[in-house]
Amino acid sequence: MKKRFNLLVLVFIFTCVSSYAQQALFGGQPIVSPEINADNSVTFRVLAPNAEKVLVTGDFLPTEKVQSPMGEMEAPGKAEMTKDEKGVWSFTSEPLESELYDYSFVIDGFTTTDPSNPYVIRDIASITNYFIVGGGKADLYMVQDVPHGSVTRRWYDSPGLNMDRCAVIYTPPGYENSTEKYPVLYLLHGAGGDEEAWFAHGKATRILDNLIAEGKVKPMIVVMPNGNVIQDAAPGEGRDNFVTPAFMIPNTMDGTFEANFMDILKFVESNYRVKADKADRAIAGLSMGGFHSMHISRYYPNTFDYVGLFSAALLPREDATGKVYSNIDETLKQQKKNGYKLYWTGIGKTDFLYDANKEFRAKLDSIGMEYTYMETDGGHIWRNWRIYLSEYLPLLFK
């Protein structure tokens, strides 16, 4: 009888603990958010019974004009949510085109993530949720049933910067089991980003896997370095540990990164099976990374046959007075004389850098440098940069 009593006690305790654990894990009633409906509209829900006003904000809504340190820019729009009798607020969007979208909730003025959606992206110091509407171009950004490449975080010695630094490096499917040599793309992030930006927010490795599987892109190694020269790695991953991410870090656009870029190129060509020649090297970047790509490719004018400028930050800078930024026209002319296979540039119609990019294209025209140009809707946004990468990759190493 005593044994039976002990067994019943144990069952009771286990049941209580199990019930508590489930409650802690799932936090009460299940809420589906976001829910992608049959017509590609999306329903957002959040439980906030005591809230007086709840908004959803994201790039699936019409943009708003806001003032920023860079001037007037577009920001994600906002929409009011409706509260039901259970305290659940909801909003259903219009049908959306196939794309990757970011969003957040604003609960009584406090911006927060969706507790029902575990998928988040860090962009500088902001954390937002995201979702993907498939059935179109965004299928490239999703994991498909295709061979996958490998992604590693590699530390390399940079004598010019006097530190070991981190880069995210993609090797194509089959690299580990082959003896083949591969071409290399150096893919650079924007201001406030780091070596994780193209991998996390740009979905670059998924795009590569899917386009390689479709036979549209030649297998290649892609190197995503950290363009912030005072950092050894992304915030939380380097020697400074949990430093707060910042938009503009000292020395990021003063020529230091460009002048020491050969440190990473030498590391890659010494440690990976690559074709170490101009015809098999490409460089591209978004915003600040486009600025870096333009200057690196002309400062080392016989190094890259492929150059990509995605919404490049080509505005004149007061600190752009070093050796790297001297004789720009002459080095561009030398780059042209040496020959190249592709000079690609893209910009959004409402990008705050639109006029600066227009002026740069006029400079290229004046010296007879041929280029490929793409103009898209929207502004200075990841949506455009993923499109530009998807358009740029199939043109490489032909």
> Binning pLDDT at 50, 70 and 90, where does residue 8 land?
very low
Asked whether 58 and 102 are in contact (CB, 8 A), the reply is yes
**CA 57, 59, 65, 71 torsion: positive or negative?**
positive
Residues 158 and 266: their CA atoms lie apart, in Å, by 10
Mean pLDDT of 288-297: 96
For residue 71, the model assigns a pLDDT of 60
Asked whether 223 and 186 are in contact (CB, 8 A), the reply is yes
Asked whether 339 and 277 are in contact (CB, 8 A), the reply is no
- pLDDT above 80: residue 67: no
Q: What is the domain partition of the chain in residue ranges?
A: 35-135, 141-395
Structure tokens given for 20: 């508590």
Asked whether 318 and 356 are in contact (CB, 8 A), the reply is no
Q: Which residues of 46-60 are buried (b: 16+ CB within 10 A; e: fewer)?
A: bbbeebeebbbbbbb
Q: Which residues of 133-155 are buried (b: 16+ CB within 10 A; e: fewer)?
A: beeeebebbeeeeeebbeeeebe
In tens, the pLDDT along 205-223 reads 999 999 999 999 999 999 9
Name the helix (H) or strand (E) containing 197: helix 197-200
Residues 275 and 390: their CA atoms lie apart, in Å, by 23
Work out the number of other CB atoms within 10 angstroms of the CB of residue 371. 15
Is the peptide bond preceding residue 147 cis, with omega within 30 degrees of 0? Answer: no
For residue 23, the model assigns a pLDDT of 36
Mean pLDDT of 261-285: 97
For residue 122, the model assigns a pLDDT of 85
The span from the first CA to the last CA of the chain, in angstroms, equals 82
For residue 193, the model assigns a pLDDT of 87
In tens, the pLDDT along 10-38 reads 444 344 433 333 334 445 558 999 999 99
> Binning pLDDT at 50, 70 and 90, where does residue 326 land?
confident
Residues 271 and 86: their CA atoms lie apart, in Å, by 59
Q: Does domain 141-395 have CATH number 3.30.70.1560?
A: no
Q: What are the counts of helices (DSSP H) followed by strands (DSSP E) for the chain?
A: 9, 20
Residues 6+ apart with CB under 8 A from 42: 34, 35, 36, 60, 92, 93, 96, 101, 131, 133
**Mean pLDDT across the chain, nearest whole number?**
88
Structure tokens given for 228: 């912030």
For residue 20, the model assigns a pLDDT of 37
CA–CA distance from 128 to each of 20, 28, 32, 244, 384 (Å)? 29, 23, 17, 16, 18
Residues 204 and 197: their CA atoms lie apart, in Å, by 9
For residue 123, the model assigns a pLDDT of 80
Work out the number of other CB atoms within 10 angstroms of the CB of residue 361. 17
Mark residue 332 as left, alpha or beta (left: phi above 0; alpha: psi -120 to 50; beta: remaining). alpha
Residues 227 and 235: their CA atoms lie apart, in Å, by 13
Residues 6+ apart with CB under 8 A from 22: none
Name the helix (H) or strand (E) containing 110: strand 110-112
Contacts 24+ apart (CB under 8 A), 28-31: 29/86, 31/88, 31/116
List the single range of 24-33, 151-160, 182-191 with lowest mean pLDDT: 24-33
CATH ID of 35-135, from 2.60.40.10, 3.40.50.620, 3.30.530.50, 3.40.50.1370: 2.60.40.10
- pLDDT above 90: residue 70: no
Between these two residues, 121 and 281, which has the higher pLDDT value?
281
Question: Which of 18-32, 186-200, 283-297 has the highest mean predicted lDDT (pLDDT)?
Answer: 283-297
- pLDDT above 50: residue 304: yes
Residues 6+ apart with CB under 8 A from 212: 146, 147, 149, 172, 173, 218, 219
Mean pLDDT of 115-143: 91
Phi–psi pair at 329, nearest 5 degrees: -65, -40
DSSP codes, 282-324:
EEEEETHHHHHHHHHHHHSTTS-SEEEEES------TT--SGG
In tens, the pLDDT along 359-371 reads 999 999 999 999 9
Residues in a beta bridge with 43: 35, 92
> Binning pLDDT at 50, 70 and 90, where does residue 124 land?
confident
Nearest to 348 by CA among 396, 386, 291: 386
- Maximum alpha-carbon separation in the chain: 98
